[in-house]
């Protein structure tokens, strides 16, 4: 059996440092906001190339806290993609804003900036014939433009220059959902540093994962940092029991920070190994299984390869390939089977199946192959061999 994600091999590689860091937390006993948390935030900010890093309890909390800090709420619209994990749009809806979905570019699986421009135009004119709009955004509704949440799906950063061009023309902020892309790069900058606020996740299966839930927010803005630090602990003011706003219990604990500190030194090398695995898959699949479309990384981008996803010809082709792999001890997964505009909870937005044609199509054809730094070249050969024989 080839593991889909291999946390055991990684644990063996970092075991000594990891155990001594966890021991240190057990000894000092500062389980909440201990010294590991500060050290980690400094190292993460240095890695991403931002002035500040605010660690937090999960990627979802990072998004939620960032939206709260920007004052996003009732009546605001936020543009994002439907081809992402649920949390991206869930947090927009949790702060009572309205997500407007924008379809993806078929090569990068990320938001298509041209579609974004059309969606903003459609919103301003309240004209869904230009681009599909939520049914709740009607002629004469008082909704206001707020911002754009870019998503760096599968580890590849979005085209932030193009997104910023549209957003700034209309006075909108941009955020980066970098939950999958920490370690990725765009035009010489790292994921986390590609928008005013970026959010990442340390869920165990992400490229940089802890041993539980964790996340972080990145920004260069001092004022936003102050607000986020307050939101992280119940809107705390200058004193622990003074509350100046509403917040959450959003802290990263010292144990998880210790785990991440042990995982940071080998991280750059792991990114290189992920690149080797992706290159191996792409080269061999193009040669042996030309019916499968392999992922594209445009010039000037680096993917963190959270996932390696391929596109089958159609749903039946995907089922045949996945069944063959499964029977041969190779796990696969589908990210994501239901695009967000078709999720039940967003039914009131009134999006029709097919309204995001690329996302709707890809959801029926996409699947992910095992991706982690310990996939060997022999495993890649074996996996591609099984795909070919199917």
92 forms part of the interface with ligand PLP (CB under 6 A): no
Question: Residues 6 or more apart from 330 whose CB is under 8 A from it?
Answer: 2, 369, 370, 382, 383, 386
Residues 184-203 that bind ligand PLP (CB under 6 A): 201, 203
Residue 247 in contact with residue 233, Cβ under 8 Å?
yes
215 forms part of the interface with ligand PLP (CB under 6 A): yes
Q: Which of 41, 52, 59, 247 binds ligand PLP (CB under 6 A)?
A: 59
Rg over alpha carbons for the chain, rounded to the nearest Å, is 21
Q: Which of 103, 213, 253, 360 binds ligand PLP (CB under 6 A)?
A: 213
Q: Name the segment binding ligand PLP (CB under 6 A); options: 85-93, 276-284, 354-362, 365-373.
A: 85-93
Rounded Cα distance, 131 and 332, in Å? 34
362 forms part of the interface with ligand PLP (CB under 6 A): no
Q: Least Å distance between CB 320 and ligand PLP?
A: 27
C-beta closer to ligand PLP: residue 292 or 307: 307
177 forms part of the interface with ligand PLP (CB under 6 A): yes
Q: Least Å distance between CB 220 and ligand PLP?
A: 22
Of residues 269, 291, 270, 289, the one with CA closest to residue 281: 289
Q: Least Å distance between CB 347 and ligand PLP?
A: 21
Q: Least Å distance between CB 246 and ligand PLP?
A: 20
Rounded Cα distance, 271 and 66, in Å? 27
336 cis-preceded (ω within 30 degrees of 0): yes
Q: How many CB atoms lie within 10 A of CB 268?
A: 10
Q: Which of 5, 40, 69, 87 binds ligand PLP (CB under 6 A)?
A: 87
Rounded Cα distance, 40 and 287, in Å? 43
88 forms part of the interface with ligand PLP (CB under 6 A): yes
Query: Please, which contacts does 118-126 make with residues 24 or more away whose CB atoms are closer than 8 Å?
Result: 119/79, 120/79, 120/145, 120/166, 120/170, 123/77, 124/170
Residues that bind ligand PLP (CB under 6 A): 58-60, 84-85, 87-88, 151, 177, 179-180, 201, 203, 213, 215
């Amino acid at each position: 059996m080839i593991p889909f994600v291999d946390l055991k091999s990684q644990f063996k590689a970092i075991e000594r440092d990891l155990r001594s860091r966890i021991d240190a937390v057990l000894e000092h006993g500062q389980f909440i906001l201990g010294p590991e948390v500060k050290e980690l935030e400094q190292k993460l900010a240095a890695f991403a190339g931002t002035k500040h890093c605010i660690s937090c309890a999960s990627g979802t909390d990072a998004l939620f806290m960032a939206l709260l800090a920007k004052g996003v709420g009732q009546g605001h619209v936020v543009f994002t993609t439907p081809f992402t994990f649920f949390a991206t749009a869930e947090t927009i809806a949790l702060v009572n804003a309205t997500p407007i979905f924008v379809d993806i570019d078929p090569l990068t699986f990320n938001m298509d900036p041209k579609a974004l421009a059309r969606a903003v135009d459609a919103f301003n004119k309240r004209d869904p014939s230009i681009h599909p709009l939520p049914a709740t955004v009607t002629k004469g509704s008082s909704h206001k433009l707020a911002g754009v949440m870019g998503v760096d799906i599968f580890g590849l950063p979005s085209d932030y220059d193009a997104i910023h061009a549209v957003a700034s023309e209309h006075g909108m902020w941009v955020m980066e959902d970098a939950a999958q892309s920490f370690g990725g790069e765009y035009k010489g900058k790292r994921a986390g540093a590609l928008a005013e606020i970026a959010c990442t996740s340390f869920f165990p299966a992400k490229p940089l994962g802890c041993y539980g839930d964790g996340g972080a927010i990145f920004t260069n803005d001092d004022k936003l940092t102050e607000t986020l630090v307050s939101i992280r602990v119940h809107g705390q003011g200058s004193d622990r029991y003074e509350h100046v706003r509403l917040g959450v219990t959003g802290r990263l604990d010292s144990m998880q920070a210790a785990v991440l500190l042990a995982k940071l030194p080998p991280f750059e090398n792991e990114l290189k190994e992920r690149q080797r695995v992706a290159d191996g898959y792409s080269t061999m699949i193009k040669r042996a299984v030309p019916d499968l479309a392999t992922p594209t990384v445009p010039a000037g981008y680096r993917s963190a390869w959270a996932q390696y996803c391929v596109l089958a010809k159609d749903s039946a082709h995907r089922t045949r390939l996945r069944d063959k792999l499964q029977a041969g001890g190779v796990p696969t997964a589908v990210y994501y089977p239901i695009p967000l505009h078709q999720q039940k909870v967003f039914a009131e937005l009134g999006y029709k199946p097919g309204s995001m044609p690329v996302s709707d199509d890809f959801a029926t054809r996409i699947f992910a192959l095992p991706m982690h730094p310990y996939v060997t070249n022999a495993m890649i050969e074996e996996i591609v061999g099984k795909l070919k024989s199917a």
